[in-house]
Structure 1
Amino acid sequence: MLNKWRVLLVVIPGFVTAVSITVDSFQVGHEGAKAIDGNSSTFWHSEYSPTLAALPHSAILDLGSSQLLNGFTYLPRQDGSSNGNIGQHTVELSLDGTTWNLVANTTFVDDESQKETGFANAQARYVRITALTEAGNRGSWSSAAEFGVRVASTSTTNGQWGPVIAFPLVPAAAAVSYSTGNIVTFASYRVNTFSIGASVNGCSGSEKLIRDLGNTYTATYNPATNTVSELNVVNTVHDMFCPGMSIDANGRAVVTGGDNANKTSIYDPVTNAWTIGAVMKIPRGYQASTTLSDGRIFTIGGSWSGGYSGKNGEVYNATANTWSLLSGCLVAPMLTNDAQGIFRQDNHGWLFGWKSGSVFQAGPSKAMNWYGTNGTGSQTAAGTRASDTDSMDGNAVIQREDFYRRRSPSYQDSNATSNVHLITIGTPNTTPTVQTLTSMHYQRAFANAVILPNGKIFITGGQSYAVPFTDTTAILTPELWDPTTQTFTVLPAHAIPRTYHSIALLMQDGRVFTGGGGMCGNCATNHEDAQIYSPAYLFNSDGTAATRPGITSVSPATLAVGGTITVVATSALTSFSLIRYGSATHTVDTDQRRIVLTPATTSGTTYTFVLPSDSGVALPGYWMFFGINSAGVPSIAKTIKITVS
């Protein structure tokens, strides 16, 4: 049976219900209108008696008028049965009901929770969902308690998302270039898959041979021209998928291990070139690394690649281009109790270079540790995160303090949580204080966190149940943590799910670059695109662009820790911050940190500042200097380089 039903238009903030629905078939008593009646106890069901209507099944929602849309919601039947739960599906849009544009092809998880499929902002009156499979493979039928459509917000009260930017690859890792402000991203030996000896990723024998030769596809986004350029890096003979990554004291991205587990590749933003670094002592993949107070780089863990266990610490000297083992930096104290064993237990450490060559490891294990990198290295227990458990797939952001938000106890097939802690660190090898904060609005795994010029922390993406290479239970609504109130504010939703293998980074203009997700070959959850979020501080109350304060000069552009800088602005500024240039992969960004600066002297719009005197606080390397006016609007960043001496 084909039917069309009309109901009263109901508007919920951010969502719109169709005025009518047309379905390909229905079972008597479960007509199409039951899916748009606002009553979760009723539901539409495709016909199964006296005739079984075969898949696929479709429903067309008529919104009554053209609107700007960016999401489709689905509530499965709520009567205790799962029959008809929609699995793989497509979403299409149309202005006239005749010409259709495909905007999503993905899969819903088989449970009764409300689902959402996001897509780029698009104008449409008609929305068509086509169910290609039944989620549990129980039969050739489909059902729905409620269908809904998300209207794209044009409000700037809590910021605004820009259009989706097409990329030639899945940006699974990225770094910000200090010299240009460009975002340099990379994937693997292929643009949307990897093959570390794993046939599950669809690699033929010839593809495997090519991968073994070593190469990495990269793509660079230029915010000045809004263009993306592609480069296949072959000269370093290094598949850099799933690496450790740190920005060194000279602003270069040092990328270690991954698919080619013992190699090091270095990206220089000035020459826009990749060069070969020294081979690591221990092969690694999924390890973390961090820049130290003396400019060296420390890494530990990484049993995803290059063999299991024993992935103790080592340091890289960029000047000498050498790696040295640290026998005293044992990985065992920081292992989680992951369900997949050592393959996951030492992955993605939350590492922060600190004073006197020390490293604070905040997670993901519930046990925290101090690592010393002088001589043969050392390890000192630093207690646990209050009553917290292991929190794999999590991250932390440092601004002289460690901000932490919890993820899932195991790497995958594990429920995320919304718990949040604030860890305050001081003298190395002492136990930090841990404060339990107000929880996030959403449970998240595989999300990203970015610190903004005003000290607020932007949290985006993730999923409530951690399953790599899926968008099921994806969280499309970001939130913002305020360090003053220590509370979270819900922000406008983004268009594309950002789950496993997604990234987010602060840009020089104070916006946030987000992208990626997937890396699973010919699958529906590869997201070869990016989207930029403009925080609320870039808008006036009427939605127009705020006038930015300008910084004429910052001098000197290079100075040692404890040095004095002079800043000349075009108008009065009321607060100032330094944020280190970041790099991100697999939720880890050990480079970003924020330092609040207070003027030592002020003369009109000329300000002088004295930098922190400890290179463990003001790590050597390149930093973004932001000035913020009384309206909370930040300048475009000026770049300074901080040296050890």
Structure 2
Amino acid sequence: MPYTQSGFAVQGAHGAHGNYELVSPSALGGLRHCWRNNDLPGAPWLLGDAFGSAGVDTVSLVARSDQVPSVHNGNLELVARVGPRLAHYTRRVPGPGKPFVWFGPVHFASGVAGHPALIQSRFGTHGNLELVVPTASGGISHYWCDNDQPHPHWIHTGVFAAGLGQVDAVAMIQSNYGGPPGNLEVIARAGDVLSHMFRDVGPAFAWSPPQTVLTSAAGIPAFIQSRHGTKGNFELVTPLAASGLSHITRDNDHPTTPWSPPVEFGSGTVSAVALIHARPGTPGAGSLDAIARVGSNTVVYVRSQAPPHDWTGPAAAACTEPLCNPVSQGEWRVPHSAGVVGIHTVLLRTGSVLFASYKEHEDQASGDSAVFNPVTGEETRLALARNVFCCGHSTLDDGRVLVVGGNLGGANALHTFTPNGGGGQWQELGNISAGRWYPTVTTLPDGRIFIIGGTGGGPRVNPHSCQITGGAIQATYEIFNPASGLEPPQPAPFMNEVDPYWLYPFVYVLPSGKLLIHAKTTTAFLDLSSFTFDATRLSTLSQTARTYPSEGTSVLLPLLPTSNPPYRARVMLIGGAGVSCPTPATDTTPATATCEVLDLGQAPLAWAPAPPMSHPRVMPDSVLLPDGTVLVMNGSSTGVADNGINPVFAVERYDPSTDTWTALCPMRVPRLYHATALLLPDGRVLTSGKDVEFNPHPFHYPEYRVEIYSPPYLFQGPRPNVTSAPDTVAYGANFDVIAPDAGAVVSAALIRPGAVTHSFNQEQRYVGLSIVTAQSGSLTLTAPPNAFVAPPGYYMLFLVNGNGVPSIGRFVKLG
């Protein structure tokens, strides 16, 4: 039978004795599910998944139990209020042998407030969903969802109980009153007063006037029809404004159906309570279990079925979020959700983030983008006439973003994006010489843009069969001159040597005046004085490719003026798939944890082993931090690009100065194919993305949540404070920075804003600065000597003190 009562905790259909299921807003953002296994001795509480959008205020949950046999039986249905809107989630099994997955949100309604109440009713063949929610303008709105339809949607029937004014919270049941299928009965709290009203079974479907049943109430009440009494008594438990909880019962066997005097129990400030009448066979069968939220804790009170029916407790329900020690591990939060999946993510000189993706379906002609404020969560959506999904991107020296290529009809497109305040403007510049799907785009020392890699559209190889599928090689490179436009394409024979792994090659400008280009298992060099390829080819130790679709990550380690020689370049390869063609891969093929480093200051040049990560991963992301370390996150422990189903939540940090890895606080949101990560100006790290089209079940859904990591250095005391710095800095010049605590600063660096997609950040670069003097209140720093060390454009200036704490990055234009 349908679950005809509301609450944030329910007794579901899973397990021989019906497990308890509970969902509540997470202190870290989004939602957290936990459950009580009623089949195990002691009925332990177990943590489930973290899921859902940021900014959730409150939730109501039902365990679906259709009136006829249905594939939906056992699903958990949840409605959350997110500000003035409602969001519907469903937990179900997406296929045989697959784990439970939360799907959603589907947003509906507007202008709502307070706490909603969701039930599955006995209306309809399958049992419709019914929902009541306070409105911001007063009264209560009623919605229903017709589960007999192939594509159910929410329908608003109107507002009732307007005379109550502003309602804070509601609870709802479908009773056995009024004849089949039964009245809807609602308890509403307005201020400290609880009122009861009901809606008849039709045909008028009229709501009765509200009747006061209790005062001195607070928080979110719980309301059920129990099995006590012949007709089934109404049981109401509510938090009290003073402390603890109050329980009243309506005796439905009595001719006047009176409410009992209140019985108070418990203590502390309770924000919400849910009530379950334990089913036969459940531990404590017949008891009333009141599950209460007290601060950040969840506790359970039990009212025995046997006389004298006293309430006992509280007993802890182990639903507390596992928290990291932020001082040693840092801290993840899910503070926001974006409207666009962050497949392409670029940090703008305004401090906002540009997200770009396909629009609804990857093969559409148009694209989608947004400018996102990572501090406030505010977002400006921007339409794109062409689909830039699968493009490459870099930042021009004036702060515009150059976007090259894209998908299908947009594969030969050339765009710029000009940031402006909280938004910006796209401009289509025309077409490049040929389609480039998955190109790499790199800013050169003279400010021009180097473009290499990509196909005319679609992948070159199927990694699961190792069959060539099309996608002709673009064995050329192109250069875009911001002043004069595109230059004629030039041959890049190296691309033929690394077929079919030349999509999104790793490319770096080296202080030596050369361009390093790595694809498959081979590294080549382009001399930037003559634009000719050297004869030198370097092979990695691993015989497995780390570029797409084997997709590891790569990073140019910090360039430091104190190294020997100064600004000695070292490139690192990290993780990737465990095999590459001619060996086919599946979603169970283990990824690799191995890493390699190429030291460009050492002779002879050769890739050398680096310490492996603790966790193998394909599709990882790497982020340079202000303290000179490298943060690695995201990815799957098995599979290849677009076929990974075992997300790695562990986060690791590599310290180039000690050649060691450190485990940090694990993330909460799975980030697989088409996920991204980059450094923010405040020293935090933003992760976003994972699309629907190219991720198999159970991750076949778009991920809009934005998760942000605060590294341990943000919990080590006060930051250095930059009160003044020049807007522009010339190469090799000394420049002054005003900082009240300058004497505590031990290092300074310029970090280029990131532009990341497909596990490779095409822009990030850490360039250390020499500290000439550090006097009271000011520092004199020396800019990088030339554009080979630091190509022109905008950088974030960071100061780091002796505790490793960075200042907030200040944008400085170099060159």
Give the TM-score of the pair, scaled to structure 2.
0.57
- The C-alpha deviation readout for 1:315-350, integer Å capped at 9, x for no partner, is 111111123212255412333xxxxxx3xx221101
Distance 1:528 1:580, change over 3 A: same
Which of 1 and 2 has higher RCO (CA within 8 Å, sep 6+)? Answer: 1
CA distance in 2, matches of 1:362, 1:182: 30
Q: Which amino acid aligns with 1:475?
A: V
SS in 2 for 1:276: strand
TM superposition shift of 1:614: 2.7
- 1:343-354 equivalences under 5 Å are 345-354=501-510
Q: Which residue in the other structure is 2:378 paired with?
A: 227
- 1:198-217 equivalences under 5 Å are 211-212=364-365, 215-217=366-368
Distance 1:507 1:461, change over 3 A: same
Q: Which residue in the other structure is 1:45 paired with?
A: none
Q: Which residue in the other structure is 2:397 paired with?
A: 249
> Are 1:176 and 2:347 matched, yes or no?
yes
Q: Which residue in the other structure is 1:407 paired with?
A: 576
CA distance in 2, matches of 1:255, 1:604: 44
| Counterpart among 525, 532, 539 of residue 370 in structure 1 | 525
| Counterpart among 21, 33, 39 of residue 37 in structure 2 | 21
> Are 1:459 and 2:459 matched, yes or no?
no
- The C-alpha deviation readout for 1:251-299, integer Å capped at 9, x for no partner, is 2211111211111111122472111224212211012121111111112
TM superposition shift of 1:87: 4.0
- The C-alpha deviation readout for 1:533-591, integer Å capped at 9, x for no partner, is 11111114xxxxx3211012223x22332222211211021111111111011111121
- The C-alpha deviation readout for 1:482-517, integer Å capped at 9, x for no partner, is 223222222222221011001111011101111010
> Are 1:615 and 2:779 matched, yes or no?
no
> Are 1:450 and 2:623 matched, yes or no?
yes
Give the number of aligned pairs. 509
CA distance in 2, matches of 1:59, 1:232: 36
Q: Which residue in the other structure is 1:3 paired with?
A: 17
Q: Which residue in the other structure is 2:413 paired with?
A: 263
Q: Which residue in the other structure is 1:532 paired with?
A: 708
Q: Which residue in the other structure is 1:562 paired with?
A: 732
Give the conservation status (yes or no) of the 8 Å contact 2:676–2:756: yes
| Counterpart among 286, 305, 311 of residue 475 in structure 2 | 311
Aligned-pair identity (%): 25
Q: Which amino acid aligns with 1:466?
A: G
CA distance in 2, matches of 1:37, 1:509: 38
CA distance in 2, matches of 1:273, 1:5: 52
TM superposition shift of 1:230: 1.3
Q: Which residue in the other structure is 1:576 paired with?
A: 748
User: Structure 1 regions of 5+ residues with no counterpart?
Assistant: 7-15, 23-30, 39-52, 61-82, 100-121, 127-147, 196-210, 336-341, 541-545
Give the TM-score of the pair, scaled to structure 1.
0.71
SS in 2 for 1:561: coil
Q: Which amino acid aligns with 2:706?
A: A
> Are 1:193 and 2:349 matched, yes or no?
no
Q: Which amino acid aligns with 2:434?
A: I
Q: CA RMSD in A?
A: 3.6
Give the conservation status (yes or no) of the 8 Å contact 1:471–1:525: no
TM superposition shift of 1:375: 5.4
CA distance in 1, matches of 2:297, 2:580: 40
Give the conservation status (yes or no) of the 8 Å contact 1:18–1:36: no
User: Structure 2 regions of 5+ residues with no counterpart?
Assistant: 1-14, 21-31, 47-68, 77-94, 105-117, 119-221, 223-271, 277-295, 301-317, 459-470, 560-569
- The C-alpha deviation readout for 1:125-160, integer Å capped at 9, x for no partner, is 79xxxxxxxxxxxxxxxxxxxxx9883315312111
- The C-alpha deviation readout for 1:104-135, integer Å capped at 9, x for no partner, is xxxxxxxxxxxxxxxxxx97679xxxxxxxxx
- 1:578-593 equivalences under 5 Å are 578-593=750-765
Distance 1:633 1:277, change over 3 A: same
- 1:374-393 equivalences under 5 Å are 377-391=532-546, 392-393=550-551
TM superposition shift of 1:610: 2.0
SS in 1 for 2:647: coil
TM superposition shift of 1:58: 5.6
CA distance in 2, matches of 1:350, 1:125: 52
Q: Which residue in the other structure is 1:478 paired with?
A: 651
CA distance in 2, matches of 1:316, 1:35: 65
CA distance in 2, matches of 1:250, 1:17: 47
Distance 1:393 1:155, change over 3 A: same
Give the conservation status (yes or no) of the 8 Å contact 1:292–1:357: no
CA distance in 1, matches of 2:740, 2:708: 27
Give the conservation status (yes or no) of the 8 Å contact 2:447–2:792: yes
Q: Which residue in the other structure is 2:497 paired with?
A: 333
| Counterpart among 164, 167, 170 of residue 338 in structure 2 | 167
Q: Which amino acid aligns with 1:229?
A: T
CA distance in 1, matches of 2:609, 2:456: 31
Q: Which residue in the other structure is 2:448 paired with?
A: 296
